[in-house]
Structure 1
Amino acid sequence: MRDLATLPKAHLHLHFTGAMRLDTLTELASSTRSRLPASFLEGDPLRVPADRRGWFRFQRAYDTARALVDSEEVMRRIVLEAAIDDASEGSRRLEIQVDPTSYAPFVGGITPALEVVLDAARQATVLTGVEVAVVVAASRVRHPLDARTLARLAVRYAGDQPGSVVGFGLSNDERAGSTSSWAPAFDIARRGGLASLPHGGELLGPEHVRAVVSSLRPTRLGHGVRASEDARLLDQLVRDGTSLEVCPASNVSLGVYRQRADVPLQTLLQHGAQVALGADDPLLFQSRLTDQYQIARDLGCDDVTLAELARGSIRASLASPTSKRTWLAQVDDWLADEPSPQAAA
């Protein structure tokens, strides 16, 4: 078995506050004398059932962390540390997802909030060698009109270089609201050249995936694992070229599956789905990018399959064709190298 931390890969599903290091969170809490939930202090992954009460517990923990992100300095720190952590795990590309509304009160509005993240992404790219791009995400628990405002803002900063906005997403509890209500915002983003990157198919099943596909026309689907319950739907996603951002540790922590062995990764791969593994919210779930590949290995993926998962993440990224060719060749090199005795052990 080869070292998974050296496998070249892209990281396409990582939320801004959820990317924070636990040490950073505890430092911020200490400096402001803020009280943290026991799940943070004990250092154990947050685990909640996949019901509304469980989601409330997750969201409360997330909001506690987000409340400590109250300055430009902290925002920049999150981006840089996320890129450093990704670099240590073989990531060549990070597409970090942010709703600037959450941080606007501390930096003068949603435009300055987004500009801070974009500038930090450019600096992190230079300092770490990881290409950092940004996905602007609306929230299902806010009004769809707010999403249109965010979409227009995201389009203003659209580009194909690191430190640009490359996609528009929709996150938070997918059971909230009517999916079609966000279609106008996604139309704005799509006309402005942004990829459609909504969440769907985690807490809700195939029918909701169909609604997301029909209304929002995703380029990639955040999570999407519940599509495995309907072979015809999964085949449609494959035909449409819709990649799935699968986050195994998150699925278990949020009660979608009882244990890691239940995550239907093999089903997705056997149907030919292009899968990009992601960490989602490592701050809460205490499981980073390489851990997701280890879970895949534990689920029966050999190194050839793991290399194909890495290729899938690279192909599904919104990086330039030149960068993709370089990284895909590096994956081939990783697979061609014999595993070291330490890695095999």
Structure 2
Amino acid sequence: MTGTADMRRHLGAPEDAAGSGGTGRDLAALPKAHLHLHFTGSMRPQTLWELAAERRIRLPRSLTDDVALQVEPTHRGWFRFQRQYDAARAVVDSEQAMRRLIREAAEDDAAEGSGRLELQVDPTSYAPHVGGLTPAIEIVLDEAEATENETGVSIGIIIAASRTRHPLDARTLARLAARHADRAPGRVVGFGLSNDERRGDTRDFAAAFRIAKDAGLLSVPHGGELLGPDHVREVVDSLAPDRLGHGVRAAQDPWLLEQIVEQGIGLEVCPASNASLGVFQEATDVPLRTLVESGALIALSADDPLLFNSRLLDQYETARAIGFTDEELAHLAASSIRLSSAPEEVRTRLLDGVQGWLRTPPEPAG
């Protein structure tokens, strides 16, 4: 396995940077990429409440009390999570609402130092409101382009299928993604598979992922959150991922983790999400140190901040609470940038910014 020092060299970050190993630098000023964020789950609570009020939709109390979701990793727990997600999604019933979510997601990322956002969307739920799947994704892409120009945050779109629907639906979405793979900026950059990992047979979705891969799209399925190493292995073998959504359960199998490292598969690690869904008791219990020391390439991400009450910056704060130094946090940020599909000029600019962040002296204690 690759050691931490080797990972540092791989990421190209200076090992002798000024203030290396110190703490206290402003994490919002650290350039980073956000690679695992769901469309509805990115919504600001205030936006949810405003849209619901305009539509006279009564939200569940759990979506109005501004408290992070907490469930057990059971079918009942997932059902509660999905019910809340569906309730939030019900307010996104127009082109205007869809555009607002994209714009605000990018604005929030920009405020937290994210220079690259790869937003995951399943257009199926929004299509009935805007005239079909193609109009739905074209609205997303059009607003992503406009928002990128306004905010300076580079944006890529990931189209995701759901495990709860038939694999033929996934092929339809994969073809839709492939047709929009050559549009830039704001183009479709990847194809994912989300929802309850315990639903469906992973192998049945392989054909959809081949369509996407043949079009040059990244394979970015979920795997290894609710289910353990055997499920991770199945996703790796069947869907040939470039990145795994979550993947944290691979830490339970050293041999599997070594294979993931050797294949260069990135892990989109979402500590707050894992804790809210009961995979770990606390966000600080996520085996981030084990994953990093194995040489795995990590992209810290927020997943669904609307429900988990924890945004991208909070994930870096969690890593700091675990004991990661500023130098190690910079390596995590650089890893997220390298795992992204951002244009080369964006990657270079952000990576230069990471090194500049390290050269800045940390804030004095107190």
Q: Residue type of the partner of 1:283?
A: L
Whether 1:91 aligns to 2:114 is yes
Q: Equivalences for 1:199-214 in 2 at 5 Å?
A: 199-214=222-237
Q: Residue type of the partner of 2:191?
A: F
Does structure 2 conserve the Cα–Cα contact (< 8 Å) formed by 1:160 and 1:166? no
Q: Residue type of the partner of 1:201?
A: G
Which residue of the other structure, out of 182, 187, 198, is the alignment partner of 2:205? 182
TM-score, normalising length from structure 2?
Answer: 0.93
The runs of at least 4 consecutive aligned structure 1 residues that moved more than 6 Å come to: none
Whether 1:33 aligns to 2:56 is yes
Q: Shift of residue 33 of structure 1?
A: 1.7
Partner of 1:315: 338
Comparing 242-251 with 322-331, greater Cα deviation is found at: 322-331
Whether 1:19 aligns to 2:38 is no
CA deviations over 1:28-72 (Å, ceiling 9, x no partner):
111122111222211100111100000000000000000110000
Partner of 2:305: 282
Q: Shift of residue 326 of structure 1?
A: 1.4
Does structure 2 conserve the Cα–Cα contact (< 8 Å) formed by 1:160 and 1:320? no
Whether 1:101 aligns to 2:121 is no
Q: Shift of residue 262 of structure 1?
A: 1.4
Q: Residue type of the partner of 1:167?
A: G
| Counterpart-to-counterpart distance in 2, 1:292 and 1:160 | 31
How many pairs does the alignment contain? 343
Q: Equivalences for 1:37-48 in 2 at 5 Å?
A: 37-48=60-71
Which residue of the other structure, out of 214, 218, 240, is the alignment partner of 1:217? 240
Q: Equivalences for 1:190-269 in 2 at 5 Å?
A: 190-269=213-292
Which residue of the other structure, out of 304, 319, 327, is the alignment partner of 2:327? 304
The answer for unaligned runs of 5 or more in structure 1 is none
Q: Residue type of the partner of 1:252?
A: A
Which residue of the other structure, out of 104, 122, 126, is the alignment partner of 1:81? 104
| Counterpart-to-counterpart distance in 2, 1:130 and 1:162 | 11
| Counterpart-to-counterpart distance in 1, 2:298 and 2:63 | 30
Comparing 332-341 with 149-158, greater Cα deviation is found at: 332-341
The Cα RMSD (Å) is 0.8
Does structure 2 conserve the Cα–Cα contact (< 8 Å) formed by 1:249 and 1:260? yes
| Counterpart-to-counterpart distance in 2, 1:28 and 1:46 | 20
Does structure 2 conserve the Cα–Cα contact (< 8 Å) formed by 1:160 and 1:319? no
Match of 1:208, SS? helix
Does structure 1 conserve the Cα–Cα contact (< 8 Å) formed by 2:31 and 2:354? yes
TM-score, normalising length from structure 1?
Answer: 0.98
Q: Which has the higher contact order (CA 8 A, sep 6+)?
A: 2
Does structure 1 conserve the Cα–Cα contact (< 8 Å) formed by 2:284 and 2:319? no
| Counterpart-to-counterpart distance in 1, 2:60 and 2:79 | 13
> Identity percentage over the alignment?
62
The answer for unaligned runs of 5 or more in structure 2 is 1-23
